[in-house]
Structure 1
Amino acid sequence: MTEHTSSDPQPAGVAARAAALRLLEAVLRRGLPLESALDNATRGLDRADDRALAHALAAEVLRRLTDLDALIDSATAKPLPTDAKARFVLRIALAQALQLGTPPHAAISTVLPLVDGGPRRLVHGVFGALMRKGVRLPDQPTLPDGVALRWHGAWGDAMLAAAESAIAAPPPLDLTLRDAGSIWVDTLGGESLAPGHVRLPAGARVTELPGFAEGGWWVQDISASLPARLIGQGKGRALDLCAAPGGKTMQLAAAGWTVTAVDMAEPRLKRVRDNLKRTKLEATLVTGDALTFADDPYDAVLLDAPCSATGIFRRHPDVLYRARPRAIAGLAEQQRAMLARAASLVKPSGVLVYSVCSLEPEEGERNAAAFLESHGGFVADPVSADELPAGIAPDGVGQVRVLPGVLADKGGADGFFVARFRRK
């Protein structure tokens, strides 16, 4: 393998690898969400395919980070610092060669321009040594130690093994249909796991699918569709707190409710507004804080609370490196305050649904139990099996906990918790 020098012309594809490096540094050094860092990291990439490649490279490194680092450490005399640029660049090169099918010469030639001097020689030498050994990544990725310990303690061996399987590849694409009897079910193909749902293979170009321009559906994981499904059809007033990006708002509007959607981030509400326009659905949008929002009581209130988002690790593997125990505890406390506020906005006999896309019991079961203990005016409203898609079941008290392994034979589902309460 010939080493390239800094004076060589840069091979095609270097810019996308440089953007992937910036993305990884934003996540692992600065703790930013991958999606939030995407625009800045890919600025200057003119082609959509290059942006998509940078995102895919960064996501694949994050899926396999523990195992990639183990390979790198096996080929160095002493471990590189975790934030060393040489380690970042090696991660990208190895992810390409071992996971994405990039020929080794292309994998190394497109990352060497990202480092200079001694680190360049180190990257070249380590990569070459590993390729000569014929190393492979394990079939099941290894989760970060802290996450593995936390989830094993909460859910046990089976969940941990299922989580490792779930993160091995990008998940399928789920769509929620505006009309459960829509023509788009047959037109889109795929598989329907519930009324008003279609599942397609990963990698589909969303805006090019049949029915996108017509507003026939929106992207929404099967788990994320559960909270609004458990409110069901209605003719009264419904409140969607923390509404962006708007999937649940559209579900409620399509189910006949008169919807008010609240979110504190105006840019995020713009996305809700755009989706409502595309789907020809109506809702009143309010820029506001769920902790202070005030209005007349509603027949139904849905609080999909801000959380650690560890349940969406299949789609966003960066959450595994950002959700720390202290942050989880702080978010759980915030959710309890939001639940109390949401409860004050429910009419007598009205329904309150609390949900989080989290795999942490502190943000789900424990908060639901604490709410019932502190709010004597509410009772649990248990979910029945016939309200849920086949393969998803309520727990012993009628709450819904979706763990890795659920629907595994169908492509899986995001981690989620949903509890339903009713005001006396």
Structure 2
Amino acid sequence: MPGQEKFLNAEAAAGALGVSRATLYAYVSRGLVRTAPDPRNPRKRLYDVHDIEQLRKRKTVGRRPREVAATTLDWGLPVLSSGISLIENGHLFFRGRDAAVWAEGASLEDTARLLWGCGDHDPFAAQDPDIALWSDELRALASQLPLTERCQALLPFVSSGRSTAWQRDSLRLWPGAAALLRATVAAASATAPGTGCAHAHLAAAWGLDAEAADIVRRALVLLADHELNASAFAARVVASTGASLGACLNAGLSALSGPLHGGTTSLVEILLEESDGKGDPAAVVESRLRRGEGVPGFGHPLYPDGDPRAAALLPLLPEDASRSGLVAAMAEATGKSPNIDFALVSIRRAFDLPPGAALALFAVGRTVGWIAHALEQRTDDKLIRPRASYVGPPPPQDGPAAAT
């Protein structure tokens, strides 16, 4: 049974929404509000706080077009149509398949074929694949750059990735997409591109055994797409201009480099190092909460009951006192569960991967999704161009001449 703080009784839930109990029950029947049995009275139900809050925000916005438009950019209502991935009822789905179940046996390449809509065509089976030829000198120079910038420096050498996507059908773009994925795997691991599966390439680069390689495979698959996140949206905006797939990846990588997106993994690294140093995870959590600081790696707005990607990966890892201690302390103090960022850093620590490997896994896996979004957006044949709500100084009342 989830913590009581996540639920309200019927009177409190109806009051928060400003509706009658009958209307509250109607929301439940329509799947808008989840419920759970009251442990003190099995004949009564409790109502999910997260769902109540989301519904309250939607009701507050109401029918005012300006407010509706503004909230769509902040975890709000859907803004674009997509058939790639779905987040619903605590699960992530890839084209209708539960991602956690799919990850049990699929490779990242299998996932690419699924999300790119390849059907029976296999863009990874080309006899003469377009793989970038990077000189040792270029790779040495690029290896000194942060991961996202390293990928951005090397990917332009994939010739098919530079081809303008506009007016080309997907069949002609898939080989370049496959080459870009292979190049991203190599750039992220500071190795030369190859033709093998992504997880096998990374396992060889990082010296992993079969068990660790399989966990890397699962992580890459689970990272392949996550609906319309910041980097996917950035890739779609660029794709809407008709730009190349390489340009779309550049946009996705730029968004991923920010501390509020892919950069969260570095904050989780600091948290776990702090826990190692103090030897008391509960004290670390308490200190951060007392200082009013966040605890990175826990909670997710779209998964109020826990990130299913982390839930699929963490049980596969060897025991780690700091990791398990932090998970227990956060569950006790806040009721929050670990998210995918925490899981990626845990994988890096468990197998002693190079610094930055957590972000490398993120970038490699998400490359599949960025390409999927770019391909899907291309078929829409529309430029993404929203309007701004101007809040600056008003223009002169008597026209431009008044400003002189």
Bin the TM-score by the shorter chain: under 0.3
Taking structure 2 as the reference length, the TM-score comes to 0.24
Taking structure 1 as the reference length, the TM-score comes to 0.23
